[in-house]
Amino acid sequence: MSESGGGVAPPVVAWIERATATDRDTDTGMTTVLVESRIRGTVVGLDPAGAVVLSVGDPTAVISPRSTVKPMQAVGMLLAGLDAAFGSGAGAASRAAAVSGAGDPASGVGDPDCGDPDCGAASEWGGGIPSELLAIVSSSHSGEPEQLAAVRAVLAAAGHGEDALACPADLPIGRLAHERHLAAGGGPERLLMNCSGKHAGMIATCVAAGWPVAGYTDPAHPLQRRIRAVIEELTGATITATAVDGCGAPLFGIPLLGLARGMREIALAAAGPRSPRQRVAAAMRAFPALVGGPGRPDTELMLAAPWIIAKDGAEGVTVAATAAGYAVAVKIEDGSQRAAMPVLVTALRRIGALDPTPGPGAAVGLDAGRLDALAAPAVLGGGVPVGRLRPFLPSAS
């Protein structure tokens, strides 16, 4: 059996430590520690010019990016004509069904004759997908009521119900939503699966483009071929490995460096003219609570630093980028989630991406407390903090 990326283990990027003695040091609260876990991973950081300024491990090795590519998939859906499912009638119905904010009156149907590869900005007559629904298409949602309403709105615009979703039935991944659903006697549903927003967007794109909805997750389906081409364009990588994601959609293997570049391309468009890239970035920044959910790491990061767009994925992958052009991507080797966001925040700080700069969202300011909680989550003992997860970036360049 072969393994993409070779057999060289990446370096340790974090460890879990517990205090064995304490003193009055307010910075650490410890003098001796017991290191109980060491976590390996790969990290890459880009500066505003797109140059690699931080590299730990081998960021050119192909990884499974999981849900971190959903913003890129959303760009692909817009380019394939997603807006056309939200024409004047359907768009109005979708806005009425969504509960998470007003629609985007400037969005609409792209010009099919536009020569610009990013052409997909709305025409005034079309309506187009509202920003909050574009955010849910880009999401791994927690299953909160407003998120589920947004998924239903996308399906309604496509003229389909929940039975059209090809994702498996599941329970909400958000802790509170999960507990509420079980307490009400609920069970697994396709709508509750965290990828249902993406799947609803794929169905709506097929309807808009005149493609069959049946088989929309097949890698050979015209929708997936279009999405694959867009991911290759954004990442600058040729896809050589295609697997099946947890939700049943195609999973295209890309280098971690390509993931950082792809997210950077979307974030850079945030302040530019309207385009699919700009609209996805703007939707994520305007509706971070729809992209993840209460307490979710990517939502918390976007709330802490509003000039950032971020997306996490299963198996320890996470990525973030700013409108100024900084980007960081992280892959934890063993697939655990616990160190992914702390390492990401540490890398963002290292390259200067968290320094407020002029541009979209910068005037809102940085929520340092929220950011610190993401960067150094507490390790509990007896219900109280007795240690921490400490990120570490060895041999970083």
H or E segment and range at residue 252: strand 250-252
As for how many domains the chain has, the answer is: 2
Tell me the two tokens of residue 314. Answer: 């299963």
Residues 318 and 392 in one domain: yes
Residue pair 288/311 in contact by the 8 Å Cβ criterion:
no
Residues 2 and 127 in one domain: no
In a domain, 20, yes or no: yes
pLDDT at residue 244 above 70?
yes
CA geometry: angle 167, 169, 171, nearest 5 deg: 120
In a domain, 288, yes or no: yes
Residue pair 250/260 in contact by the 8 Å Cβ criterion:
no
In a domain, 34, yes or no: yes
pLDDT tens-digit series, residues 38-92: 999 999 999 999 999 999 999 999 999 999 999 999 999 999 999 999 984 444 3
**How big is the chain, counted in residues?**
397
In a domain, 82, yes or no: yes
pLDDT band at 272; cut points 50, 70, 90: confident
pLDDT at residue 334 above 50?
yes
User: What's the CA gap between 200 and 202, in Å, rounded?
Assistant: 5
pLDDT the model gives residue 106:
28
- Phi/psi for 319 (5° steps) reads -150, 150
pLDDT at residue 109 above 50?
no
Residues 10 and 82 in one domain: no
Residues 99 and 218 in one domain: yes
pLDDT tens-digit series, residues 133-168: 999 999 999 999 999 999 999 999 999 999 999 999
In a domain, 185, yes or no: yes
> Among candidates 257, 355, 333, 111, which has minimal Cα distance to 265?
257
Residues 354 and 325 in one domain: yes
Residues 15 and 97 in one domain: no
In a domain, 51, yes or no: yes
pLDDT at residue 364 above 80?
no
In a domain, 231, yes or no: no
> H-type helices in the chain, by residue range?
70-79, 88-97, 131-137, 145-158, 175-183, 196-209, 222-235, 256-268, 276-286, 288-291, 297-304, 340-351, 368-375
Residue bearing the bigger pLDDT, 1 or 14 = 14
pLDDT at residue 14 above 70?
yes
Whole-prediction pTM: 0.86
In a domain, 331, yes or no: yes
What is the rounded average pLDDT for all residues in the chain? 86
Residue position matching structure tokens 């960021």: 59
Residues 171 and 38 in one domain: no
Residue position matching structure tokens 């002029």: 358
Residues 332 and 286 in one domain: no
Question: Which amino acid belongs to residue 207?
Answer: V
pLDDT band at 33; cut points 50, 70, 90: confident
Residues 50 and 102 in one domain: no
Residues 288 and 191 in one domain: yes
Q: Which domain holds residue 47?
A: 1-60+300-397
Residues 23 and 38 in one domain: yes
Residue pair 42/254 in contact by the 8 Å Cβ criterion:
no
Count other Cβ atoms within 10 Å, centred on residue 122. Answer: 23
Residues 88 and 46 in one domain: no
pLDDT band at 366; cut points 50, 70, 90: confident
pLDDT tens-digit series, residues 189-207: 999 999 999 999 999 999 9
Average pLDDT over residues 326-354: 95
